[in-house]
Chain A
Amino acid sequence: MSGSYFELLGLPERFDLARPAIEAAYLDRTREVHPDRFATAAASERVAALQRSMQLNDAYQTLRQPVRRAEYLLNRHGVFIGDNERLDDAAFLMEILELREELAEARVAGKLDEVARLQAEMRRRHRGLLDALIPLFAAVEGDDAAGRADALPRVKRTLIELRYLARYLEECDAALDDEEA
């Protein structure tokens, strides 16, 4: 079977999925085909179980995380985001740049609580953008062709913004980590 990740897990193909449901769908299936269940079977069955398990793991890793799920859905709609795709929005870029400078200063000065504050703020923002994806995807997944055409580029833009925010959050983690080390 070489269906989509959603088909593999028996889930409806849409963005708005709850993690518990994804988990349950994955566990129900992986429990049945895990290679350990076929350890004494013929090699062809062992290989088949291994391949199916890998596919399920792949599907689960992708769908359980909203950002990866969203990118996967976007790709399924024929829209792709390049590795180094940049946002053509000077105001947004400037703002992120300033936030990074703030973070760098806090990091150099060893102000951990300041780093934590910036991190919390960015997490809120990250979550807000994820929430914003729900209505956008509702339009993408809806029947209105015009609405879809309008929503797809906005989904893409939101996902690129999320990449910037994710990188920023990684830097926050790194800043908190060097205090640990």
Chain B
Amino acid sequence: MLMQIAEPGESQIKEACRKRVVGIDLGTTNSLVAHVVDGTPTVITGGDATAGDDAALVPSIVHYGADGVVVGHRAAELAAEHPRDTIVSVKRFVGRGLRDLASQRALLPYELAPDDGRMVRFVVGAGDARREITPVEVSADILRAVAARATAAVGGAIEGVVITVPAYFDDAQRQATRDAGRLAGLEVLRLLAEPTAAALAYGLDRGSRGLYAVYDLGGGTFDVSILKLVDGVFEVRATGGDSALGGDDLDRAIAAHLLAEAGVTIDLAADTEAGAAAGAALAQRRLARRAVTAARAVKERLTDADEALFTLSLADGRAIERRVTRAELAALARPLLDRTGRACRRVLKDAELDAGELDGVILVGGSTRSPVVRAYVAELFGREPLCDLDPDQVVALGAAVQAEVLGGGEQQVVLLDVIPLSLGIEMMGGVVEKLIHRNSTIPCGASQTFTTYADNQTGFDIHVLQGERETVEGCRSLARFVLRGIPPAVAGMARAEITFMIDADGILRVTAREQVSGVEASIEVKPSYGLTDEEIEQMLLDSFDHAEDDLQRRNLQIERVEAERILAATRAAIDGDDGLLTDDVRAATEAAIVELRRLAAGDDHLAIRAGVEALDLASKPFAQARMNRVIEAAMRGRTVDDVDHSLAHVHPGDHDHDHDPDHDHAHEPPDGR
């Protein structure tokens, strides 16, 4: 009897390529993790009810104690007693230097290491255990705890994560978040903007189409994005916000107001832990921490009540007891909310829309639970906002969906996100020339040619900046590098072409090339407030309790999995598109496949990686041909005449500065399809 032996079908290959993935909302106040189960995004809860772990939210709090690192609810319990060694709201420090914090240092109970022009560092521990720790490491500790939770739920090691970031995070903050993921031993598939994630969860939930604004007020950051949802495409039209504005600021405003009213001053200037001052400093830090915590409790109670009692016992035995009304809260919140209002108006302008043209406003972030915030948003947009999905969970749910997409799952949605801030380089006279404007859809690139301004100039100083202002001082410095080795010539002869490339994470890569001589320099934009690769490697090594050969084994495992994935994907592509292979490409590809199989059986992870790269190189022409085929296949049956016909007699679209009456609204499908 003849047995039919089936070739591995497409679905089996897809299954082989699929990764175990989760989405992580790394929040200022709380973090959570979600995954897709049978097509439905689901938040993963912890297992230990006694530690409060049964809940979905893991407080983004890390305690660095004598007995080790504690994260989450247990760390929260230690926060009041050990303010200096318990870091809360670390997200506000990510990718930031001391100078960035000048405006928000009030009531911060930390000891910060002296400014060395690099990222903020917290000083924790005492005596021999005293050490400096970066926000990247603190974030990594949170990610590790959250991922551990997911590992238990998913039933195996996590192979990829999508981590959400505020849409308004700049390049430095995104880099730092990515570094934190790496440091936690996670493969970061994508950094996803939080409002986009929320829209994804909402849009899929209701099969929506149309124009939506997402108002996302979290613990420490504010984002507003305008998205257009149509047929499985989530297109961000514009985004704006403030990466240092959130519920935390309201907590501190309440605390500061009530302390001032009671005539209490807190002196946190003594950033020392030495001698007799140490006790006093600790007392002050504890008071600051308790004051802010009490303020937050009052704020939260005012979500349901019209009045709440603020109580705070002071060092001298006195206590502050004060009724706070919702009206008072509203008054204290007003300046902060007005800042969100300005961002909202600007983003509407960038999207060339009036608030009335929106189909809905989505509320995201714990701070939007407050009726004060809801009333403000309703007034601002002239409509009641949508809040039927849990504002604390919606971001993680969206991240899980995107993780599923990137992990090779069934979900067929495409997110078109934008960069929040313009990118440019410094010109003579301290002026910034923008190469890529804010709200450009990513991935994207741009290049521009510059000439020398002095005779015999042999280098170009390239200073990369991000921001909207025209001058260097008004923008954030991302990196500096020099293109050297230019042959001496009269001014204006040498020409440097500078190219910016932004990947789908919104992370920038800059290359510079002198066109006459061909001298080239490139940089993954990092230094200013980032960590170097070497630092991360070192931190990774330090964080592994195991010896170096464990790391070797781990690397080998990673490369083998990758090799298998690539082999399966290439085989599937060849089987599916055989006709596109020319004989020489086929020969080269098959040879590279054989070689990679051989290498993958060995135990040299660098050799395997080289084999993967060789296969990629060999199959490159094939990949290009397939890409053309994909588009042709999608467009088949539609002729230029169809397009032409649909275009006839229509006004030429939009204006740069005006609203367009012809601007299509998502309710009616474009061009009549």
Within 8 A of B (CB), among A116-135: 123, 126-127, 130-131, 133-134
- Interface of A (DSSP majority class): helix
A28 at the interface (CB under 8 A from B): yes
Give the contacting residue for B630; candidates A10, A33, A67, A131; CB below 8 A.
A33
Give the contacting residue for A39; candidates B345, B406, B444, B628; CB below 8 A.
B406
Give every chain A residue within 8 A of B365 (Cβ-Cβ): none
B235 at the interface (CB under 8 A from A): yes
Q: Is the CB of A18 within 8 A of B653?
A: yes
B584 at the interface (CB under 8 A from A): no
Give every chain A residue within 8 A of B135 (Cβ-Cβ): none
Query: In whole angstroms, what is the CA distance A181 to B468 when docked?
Result: 15
Stretch at the interface among B266-274, B525-533, B538-546, B616-624: B616-624
Q: Is the CB of A32 within 8 A of B653?
A: no
Give the contacting residue for B345; candidates A33, A50, A61, A180; CB below 8 A.
A180
Give the contacting residue for A18; candidates B415, B440, B662; CB below 8 A.
B662
B566 at the interface (CB under 8 A from A): yes
Give every chain B residue within 8 A of A17 (Cβ-Cβ): 647, 652-653
Give the contacting residue for A166; candidates B407, B651, B657; CB below 8 A.
B657
Q: Is the CB of A37 within 8 A of B414?
A: yes
- The number of residues on chain A lying at the interface, defined by a beta carbon within 8 Å of a beta carbon of chain B, is 60
Known: A24-B671, A35-B504. A64 touches B653 (CB 8 A): yes
Q: Is the CB of B630 within 8 A of A127?
A: no
Q: Is the CB of B405 within 8 A of A36?
A: yes
Among B617, B627, B652, find the residue whose CB has the most chain A CB atoms closer than 10 A.
Answer: B652
Give every chain B residue within 8 A of A47 (Cβ-Cβ): 616, 620, 623
Give every chain B residue within 8 A of A54 (Cβ-Cβ): 443-445, 501
Give every chain A residue within 8 A of B565 (Cβ-Cβ): 40
Give every chain B residue within 8 A of A31 (Cβ-Cβ): 231-233, 414, 634
Give every chain A residue within 8 A of B232 (Cβ-Cβ): 31
Query: In whole angstroms, what is the CA distance A120 to B613 when docked?
Result: 57
Q: Mark A35-61, 1 if CB is under 8 A from B, else 0.
A: 111011111110111101110011011
Among A17, A19, A32, A40, find the residue whose CB has the most chain B CB atoms closer than 10 A.
Answer: A40
Give every chain B residue within 8 A of A58 (Cβ-Cβ): 444-445
Give the contacting residue for A126; candidates B416, B501, B658; CB below 8 A.
B658
A27 at the interface (CB under 8 A from B): yes
B435 at the interface (CB under 8 A from A): no
Q: Is the CB of A33 within 8 A of B233?
A: no
Q: Is the CB of A29 within 8 A of B652?
A: no
The distance from the CB of A38 to the nearest CB of chain B, in whole angstroms, is 9
Q: Is the CB of B653 within 8 A of A66?
A: yes
Give the contacting residue for B569; candidates A11, A42, A131; CB below 8 A.
A42
Q: Is the CB of A40 within 8 A of B441?
A: no
Query: In whole angstroms, what is the CA distance A60 to B442 when docked?
Result: 12
Stretch at the interface among B118-126, B388-396, B471-479, B638-646: B638-646
Q: Mark A85-96, 1 if CB is under 8 A from B, else 0.
A: 000000000000
Q: Mark A1-43, 1 if CB is under 8 A from B, else 0.
A: 1000000001110011111111111011111111111011111
10 A-B contacts, Cβ less than 8 Å apart? A15-B652, A27-B230, A27-B233, A30-B416, A31-B634, A32-B631, A35-B443, A37-B414, A48-B626, A66-B655
